[in-house]
Amino acid sequence: MIAGIELGGTKTVVAIGTAAGELLEEWRFPTTQPAATLGGASAWLRERGPLECIGIAAFGPVGIDPQREHYGKMLATPKPGWTGFSLIGALATAFPNATLTLDTDVNAAALAEARIGAAAGLDDVAYITIGTGIGGGILSGGRLIHGALHPEFGHLKVPRQPGDDFPGVCPFHGDCLEGLASGPAIAARWGQAAHELGPDHPAWDSQAWYLAHGILALLAIVSPARVIVGGGVSQVAGLHARIRSKLLEISAGYFPPAMDPDYVVAPALGQEAGIRGALLLASGV
Ligand code: ADP
Ligand code: ZN
C-alpha cells in the first residue's frame, strides 16, 4: 500500500492511493504543532494497514538531501515551533519498516502535474504556487531539481512595476516576489483579501507583471517547456492569460517556449497536485 503526506503551512493532507497517483482515501486537517500534526497523520495512516512506502511533500525550508546532516529536518521557518523538527525522525519512529521519500510540496506538485496533469508527457516543467507564500518546484530532464537546499522561487528579486513603491511583506527581504505578490502581500497592498477583489481590479495587472518577471527568470535559467501556476490566488478568472500576455511582451521574442499559447496554465489536478505528487514520490516514478 502506498501512502502520501502533504504537510502544508496551514493544512495537512494524508492519503492512501495507487502507484499511479490515484487517491483511494484521504483526510485533511489543520497543521498545528509538529508532534501533534505528525502524530495525527501517523495514527490515521496506521489504521489503514501496513505501509511499505510513504511519500512526503513538505512546506519549506526543509532538508531534502539524504547525504546532508539536515536531511528530513525543518529549517529556519517563521512558523512557530517547527524550526529544527525532524519529519523523517518522527515518521521513521512511527513506521520503522516503511521506505520514506521526502521532497518539497511544490516539487511534488510539479511531479504530479508533469506525470498525470496539465503537463503530462513533458519532462521540463515548473510548478508555481501563489497562496500564503509563493513557491516553485522544477522538473528538469525528468528529474526534480534540488540543488544544495531546494529552489526558493518566491524569494527571487524581480524588477518593480513602474510607480510601485509598496515596501513588500517578506519578513526576510521585504520586496522579493513573495513580498510583493503573495496573498498576504495583495491584502496588505490593496486593503482587501485577494479573493474579495473582482477580476477587473488593478491588482491583477500588477500580479501579472510580477509573476511574468519571475517566470522570465525561470525561462532564462532552466527553460521549462510549460509553467503551471496554482495556489489560492491563481483561482481568480483571467490571471493565467494576463501572465501569458505580459510574459510574451517582456520576453521580447527571445524565448521560443514562451510563445506557446499554453505556456502558462492552471493545474489540472487543482488542490490535489501536492498529495498526488506525494503518492508518486512514494512509488518512485
Ligand atoms: P496556502 O498557501 O495557505 O495553502 P492557498 O493556496 O489556499 O493557501 O492561498 C490562500 C490565498 O488565496 C489567500 O490570500 C486568498 O485570499 C487567496 N484566494 C483564495 N481563493 C481565491 C480566489 N478565488 N481568487 C483570488 N484569490 C483567492
Ligand atoms: Zn523573501
Q: How many CB atoms lie within 10 A of CB 109?
A: 33
Cell numbers given for 283: 512509488
| Predicted pLDDT at 28 | 98
Q: Is the CB of 271 under 6 A from ligand 1?
A: no
CA distance 3 to 278: 8
CA distance 126 to 173: 23
- Residues 219-237: tens digit of each pLDDT: 999 999 999 999 999 999 9
Rounded to whole angstroms, what are the CA distances from 160 to 49, 105, 109, 168, 264? 52, 28, 29, 11, 21
- Distance from Cα 219 to the centre of ligand 2, integer Å: 20
CA distance 242 to 22: 32
Q: Which of 6, 59, 132 to mutate to test the pocket of ligand 1 (most atoms within 8 A of CB)?
A: 132
Q: pLDDT above 70 covers what percent of the chain?
A: 100
Q: Is the CB of 132 under 6 A from ligand 1?
A: yes
- Residues 15-66: tens digit of each pLDDT: 999 999 999 999 999 999 999 999 999 999 999 989 999 999 999 999 999 9
Q: Is the CB of 283 under 6 A from ligand 1?
A: no
Q: Is the CB of 131 under 6 A from ligand 1?
A: yes
- Residues 170-206: tens digit of each pLDDT: 999 999 999 999 999 999 999 999 999 999 999 999 9
- What is the pLDDT of the chain when averaged over all its residues? 96
* Mean pLDDT, residues 71-76: 95
| Predicted pLDDT at 1 | 82
Helices (H), 95-228: 105-116, 177-181, 183-190, 203-221
CA distance 258 to 1: 40
| Entry field: residues in the chain | 285
Question: H or E stretch including 251?
Answer: helix 239-251
- Distance from Cα 131 to the centre of ligand 1, integer Å: 5
pLDDT at 285 over 80: no
Of all atoms in ligand 1, which is nearest to the CA of residue 129? Answer: 6
* Mean pLDDT, residues 123-131: 97
**Ligand 1, atom 16: nearest CA belongs to which residue?**
194
3-state helix, strand, coil in the chain (%, to 5): 40, 20, 40
Q: pLDDT above 90 covers what percent of the chain?
A: 96
- Residues 80-103: tens digit of each pLDDT: 999 999 999 999 999 999 999 999
Of all atoms in ligand 1, which is nearest to the CA of residue 132? Answer: 2
| Predicted pLDDT at 253 | 95
pTM score:
0.96
- Distance from Cα 132 to the centre of ligand 1, integer Å: 7
Of all atoms in ligand 1, which is nearest to the CA of residue 183? Answer: 14
| Predicted pLDDT at 77 | 87
Confidence of residue 239 (pLDDT cuts 50, 70, 90): very high
- Report the side by side order of strands in the sheet with 11-17: 23-30, 11-17, 2-7, 53-58, 99-104
CA distance 43 to 103: 22
* Mean pLDDT, residues 94-115: 97
- Distance from Cα 100 to the centre of ligand 1, integer Å: 30
* Domains, the chain, with CATH or none: 2-104+271-283 (3.30.420.40), 118-267 (3.30.420.40)
- CA angle centred on 88, ends 82 and 152, rounded to 5°: 60
pLDDT at 128 over 80: yes
